[in-house]
Amino acid sequence: MDKTGSPTKGLLTGTPQRNSRVWFLPAFLWLFLLIAVPLAFVFLLSLARRNPAGETDWVLGISNYVRALDPLYLWIYWRSLLLALATTLICLVLGFPVAHFIAQQPSARLRNLLLFLVTLPFWTSFLIRTYAWILLLRTEGIINNALVALGIIQQPLPLLYNNFAILVGLAYAELPFMILPLYTALERIDKSQIEASSDLGCTASQTFWRVLIPLSRPGIIAGVVLVFVPSVGAYLTPDLLGGAKSIMAGNLIQNQFAVVRDHPFGAAIAFVLTVVVLALLAVSHRTTREHTELRLL
Amino acid sequence: MPPVLEFQDISKSFDRQSVLRDFSLSVDPSEFLTLLGPSGSGKTTLLRLAAGFERPDNGKVVLRGSDVTHLPPYHRRVNTVFQNYALFPHLTVAHNVAFGLRNLKLSKVEVHSRASAALDMVQLANLSDRLPHQLSGGQQQRVGLARALVMQPEVLLLDEPFGALDQRLRQQMQQELKAVQRRLELTFVFVTHDQEEALSLSDRIALLHEGRLDQIGSPDQIYNWPASRFAAEFMGIPNIFPLSGTKPEGVGTRCQLKTGETFLVTSAANGNQARFLAVRPENIRVSRASLPHGKSNNVIRGRVRQARYLGSSILWSVEANHLTWAASEVVNGGTDMGSVSLEDEVFLSWEPSRGVLLA
């Protein structure tokens, strides 16, 4: 049944389907087998322990969690969240004008071309693109050399192996994931609603805040989620572009699994991270209700 | 009284297609003026120029004596009612209506009272907490109207506001709109391609043809005395015949059709440069009895070829001298099927004062 109470129509036949619930089965199985089950396994693993020989002892306890919540690690999680938040904000600020510009183009061909250009980076290896940033940001890199040559600075700037470089790398990588959902939402907006807002006395900036943003909210939320979540757990970017002092949660987990070989501890950290992100998503989902202009009436 | 809105020599093109050429028009205070014309005649463009959504290539838009041509919409004291309603989907009816009031720096009390008054006027006070998608088309259009009216503009612009509604709802909304306009004594500029709508609502009708003002006048004038062939055709006159010449005769004009017949026309306009004769079907009598052709009567003989039953009248198609004349006869309901029948030989007659000479 759909929202109006009438039976849902089959996708291929258009005739009312009575047992439409059965079509949920593949998606449900997929969710269950590929997400719920591995997550459960990770949780189970996190309760185990690493014995001195480097293998997993299935002696269940929460000692890993106690350790994972040590202030040292808490600081790393916190920084990861902050960096992810900063990345999201940067992508939002940079991506919105781009998405808006593309959505405004009257020619469909031009729009498609611009969208293609936005996704063009994905045609090359992410690793190579990240290395390219190293070339740009190094002390003897392209940017520093240019700035010194132009006389703008005397000493090269420390652009690499710090939080700044991580932000640049993450924002660059995630930007298309912000632009595309924003574009989809903006493209749907009826131009006459924007005109109506202007007609009723709103300047461009007022129309932006009172009409454009609320109407593109689904796109904003989608973009924020698509950028924030991967950024929290980012591993490659902080590994290549960050320094020893700027490791993120992803590096921590990878370190446990690949170097230290303490899988249960790594699993615990991973699970903490997962729970925190899910909690944040749940909170943001609940607070983004219909925010109408309540003050006035 | 000085006009409240003026278009002065407006020209506008889109993609090198000329949409308006040297267009001038004045709108009087408190009048209901309709811009009437077929698609592409420039009427919606004119409205958008008045609202500020477009700028003319040449010419000026003047509001209450001030040149507003280059002012953005939010600085003009005009408001628009959109064809597709353009309600804000994320706001309730009440917030939609009050949307523009926030820009006026009014007190909360005044905002509330003005919004409530507007909602009462369109009879939607009980739906103020609904969202647009929960309303019917007619209700949504009422919200759009209230939202614009609440701003108390100098001119209200309406762009085919009833286009998406069914016939009965349309007529009801038309009456309500007219009542609101009369009550508030606001100036309305209304765009439509529906001549019936224009005739029933307007104080004046401006007929547009290919970006030019074809004719402007009261509904009576436009309906009964179209000045051009386009106007006559657009207003639905089927009897339009090309002339080969005209000659003054007494107080009127004797005109000769290209097919030879001559008729006396005593209505005022267009005596000498007339190229067509037009006569409304309702002004043509059809009878089997022979009638004299002379100074008080134009008569032509023909044969009934078709009949169209229209409920309150029958439209006869009569072939006379290789031309087809349409004559309309009122019927009394019941089994009255008119005074003649198909294939009858009949006499069509019309008074000289009812003929229209077209440029």
The strand pair at B204-209 and B276-279 is best described as unpaired
Q: Cβ–Cβ contacts within 10 Å for residue B138, how many?
A: 16
User: What contacts A294, CB < 8 A, 6 or more positions away?
Assistant: none
CATH number of the domain encompassing residue A247: 1.10.3720.10
Q: What is d(CA A174, CA B137) in angstroms, rounded to the nearest whole number?
A: 42
pLDDT (tens digit per residue) in B149-178: 999 999 999 999 998 888 888 999 999 999
State pTM to two decimals.
Answer: 0.82
Contact B74 A193 (CB under 8 A): no
Predicted confidence at residue A273, as pLDDT, reads: 87
Reported residue count of chain B is 359
Q: Which of B79, B108, B115 sits opposite A199 (nearest CB)?
A: B79
Contact B103 A200 (CB under 8 A): yes
Q: What is d(CA B96, CA B151) in angstroms, rounded to the nearest whole number?
A: 12
**Residue B269 pLDDT grade (very low, low, confident, very high; cuts 50, 70, 90):** low
Residues of A with CB under 8 A from a CB of B: 190, 192-193, 195-203, 206, 210-211, 214-215, 217, 290, 292-293, 296-297
Q: How many CA atoms lie within 13 A of A262 on its CB side?
A: 19
What the block records as the tokens of B233 is: 């055709």
What the block records as the tokens of A62 is: 């929460």
- What's the number of domains chain A is made of? 1
Considering only alpha carbons, which residue of chain B is nearest residue A194? B86
**What ipTM score was computed for the predicted complex, to two decimals?**
0.86
Considering only alpha carbons, which residue of chain A is nearest residue B108? A296
- Mean pLDDT confidence for A235-242: 90
Please report whether residue A58 resides in a domain. Answer: no
Considering only alpha carbons, which residue of chain A is nearest residue B107? A296
Considering only alpha carbons, which residue of chain B is nearest residue A195? B53
Predicted confidence at residue B287, as pLDDT, reads: 87
Burial of A124 by CB count in 10 Å (0-12 exposed, 13-18 middle, 19+ buried)? exposed
Contact A91, A178 (CB under 8 A): yes
Contact A197 B52 (CB under 8 A): no
pLDDT (tens digit per residue) in B174-220: 999 999 999 999 999 999 999 999 999 999 999 999 999 999 999 99
Asked whether residue B268 carries a pLDDT value surpassing 70, the answer given is no
DSSP readout, B263-274? EEE-SSS-TTT-
Please report whether residue A168 resides in a domain. Answer: yes
Structural domain including A265 reads: 68-287
Q: Which of B73, B95, B151 sits opposite A293 (nearest CB)?
A: B95
Q: Which of B79, B90, B102 sits opposite A290 (nearest CB)?
A: B90
Q: What is d(CA B222, CA B196) in angstroms, rounded to the nearest whole number?
A: 12
Contact A199 B104 (CB under 8 A): no
- Mean pLDDT confidence for A2-18: 61
Residues of B with CB under 8 A from a CB of A: 51-53, 72-74, 78-80, 82, 84, 86-92, 94-95, 98-100, 102-104, 108, 111-112, 115, 147-148, 151
| Element of type H or E holding A1 | none
Please report whether residue A158 resides in a domain. Answer: yes
- Mean pLDDT confidence for B131-147: 94
Percentage of chain B with pLDDT > 90? 67
Domains and CATH numbers, chain B: 5-224 (3.40.50.300), 234-358 (2.40.50.100)
Secondary structure of residue A164 in the 3-state scheme:
helix
Considering only alpha carbons, which residue of chain A is nearest residue B104? A201
Please report whether residue A30 resides in a domain. Answer: no
Predicted confidence at residue B8, as pLDDT, reads: 95
Predicted confidence at residue A22, as pLDDT, reads: 75
Query: Residue A199's closest CA among B194, B265, B54?
Result: B54
Residue of B78, B103, B150 to mutate for A, most A C-beta atoms under 10 A: B103
Please report whether residue A44 resides in a domain. Answer: no
